[in-house]
Amino acid sequence: MIRLSVNINKIATIRNARGGNMPNLVQAAKDLESYGAQGITVHPRPDERHIRYKDVEELKPIISTEFNIEGNPADAFMDLVLKTKPHQVTLVPDDPDQLTSDHGWDTIKHKDFLKRIIKEFQDAGIRTSIFVDPVIEMIEGAKETGTNRIELYTESYAANYHENRDKAIYPFVITANRAKELGLEINAGHDLNLDNLKFFAQSIPFLSEVSIGHALIADALYYGFDNTVNMYLRELK
C-alpha cells in the first residue's frame, strides 16, 4: 500500500495567525497518526511563517510513524535536520520568499552540490529524497546524486487532470517507470487531492509515499480529521 504522509504546515499557519498554541501542533500530529496517517511531513522555511524550527524539535520525539522534513538545504536547515534526525529528508529548491514549492531540482546542473548534501545526510542515517519534475533527464540525474528516493512534483498533473487525465498522468508514468528501473524509490506530492489521487495511485501503484497537506487540511474543515485521513487512505488502496 502507498503510504500517506500528512503535511501539517497549514495547521501551524492557523496557529500562527493568532499566536499562542491553538491548534496544538504536537497534539494534531499525534491525532493524525492515531487516525491512520502513516507519516508526518513538515516544511520549515527561513521566515518560519508556518512550521517553526522549534516545532520540528518538539515533534520528533512524539512521532511514532515516519517523520519527513522538507526544505532547501541551507546551513540552518541542514543543522536542524542533522540535530533532529528524521526518518527522511526531502530536498526542495525553494527560494526564501517562495509562497509554495513550484519546481523540482535541476539534478544535472546541481549534481555535485546534491551529492555532497545527500552524503552528509545519509552518513547520519537519514534517508534522502529529492523533489523533481517528471522529466527523464532529471530522473537519471537524480540517480547520479546517490539519493534514495525522488519525490515527483505533481502540480502539472493536478492542473490538467480534469481536462485530460490520461495526458496529465503520462509523463509521471514514464518517469516513474524509469526511476524504478534505476532502483530509485518514488514519492509524490503537490496538489494531490480526493479528486485526483486515486487515478494517480492506480497509474503508479509502486509509489512508496504521497505527501499531502493543503487539500487534506482543507477537507478536514468539512469532514473532520479522522474521517478525512481515512478518505485519503481509501483512495490509495
- Note if 70 is an active site residue: yes
- Note if 190 is an active site residue: yes
Q: Which residue has the cell 480526493?
A: 194
- Note if 214 is an active site residue: no
3-state secondary structure of 132: strand
Q: Which residue has the cell 510513524?
A: 65
Q: Other C-beta atoms within 10 Å of 74: how many?
A: 13
Closest C-alpha among 121, 115, 129 to residue 188? 129
- Active site residue: 33, 190, 209, 235, which one? 190
Segments of 23-98 assigned E as strands: 39-42, 67-71, 88-91
- Active site residue: 70, 151, 209, 235, which one? 70
- The distance in angstroms from the start CA to the end CA of the chain is 6
- Active site residue: 43, 66, 151, 235, which one? 43
Q: What single DSSP character describes residue 40?
A: E
The residues assigned a catalytic role are 43, 70, 190
